């Protein structure tokens, strides 16, 4: 049986990346991000001059397209995880945990958002609650299957 965990993890990562691109699409810091990319020297020189406004629009269009690309990959991987997992709750737990963590780390790295202790405590409570629900669901399924075999 194929493990659902790698695809559930990737699903959570692409969900977080989709959020990053959505924020870059609509945020005023997109211009700063564009300037960093343009000044890095990693991009090949273009055969035509690109104005500042044109490069900003190009960056926003790219981010807009990446929102849909990441969402498509996220749903594809999430569906594959659901098909291989014994329970949909397990997939949701892994996906949610990775999405929470990756969103926080990417927000900190890219947008300099603070990672307050309160945020981590809240995320921990949400994940703990999801795990408790998963365990209770597993116990109910075990009781039902043991009654059927009797």
Spatial contact of 70 and 15, defined as CB atoms under 8 Å apart:
yes
Residue 137 has pLDDT above 70, yes or no: no
Give pTM, 2 decimals: 0.77
Q: pLDDT of 16-41, one tens digit each? A: 999 999 998 888 777 777 777 777 77
User: How far, in Å, CA of 126 to CA of 132, rounded?
Assistant: 10
Higher-scoring residue by pLDDT: 116, 33: 116
Q: How far is CA 119 from CA 24, 45, 125, in A?
A: 22, 42, 10
Domain that holds residue 22: 5-149
**Alpha carbon distance 30, 44 (integer Å):** 20
Q: What is the DSSP letter of 28?
A: T
Q: Please tell me the total count of domains within the chain.
A: 1
Assess whether pLDDT exceeds 80 at residue 66.
Answer: yes
């Amino acid at each position: 049986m194929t493990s659902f965990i790698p695809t559930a993890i990737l699903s959570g990562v692409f969900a977080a990346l989709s959020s990053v691109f959505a924020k870059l699409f609509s945020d005023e810091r997109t211009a700063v991000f564009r300037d960093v990319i343009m000044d890095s020297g990693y991009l090949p020189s273009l055969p035509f001059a690109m104005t500042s406004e044109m490069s900003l629009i190009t960056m926003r269009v790219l981010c807009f397209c990446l929102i849909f690309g990441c969402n498509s990959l996220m749903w594809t991987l999430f569906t594959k995880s659901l098909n291989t997992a014994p329970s949909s709750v397990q997939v949701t737990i892994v996906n949610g945990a990775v999405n929470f963590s990756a969103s926080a780390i990417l927000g900190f790295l890219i947008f300099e958002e603070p990672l307050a202790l309160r945020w981590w405590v809240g995320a921990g409570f949400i994940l703990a609650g999801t795990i408790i629900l998963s365990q209770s669901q597993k116990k109910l399924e075990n009781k039902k299957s043991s009654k059927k075999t009797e």
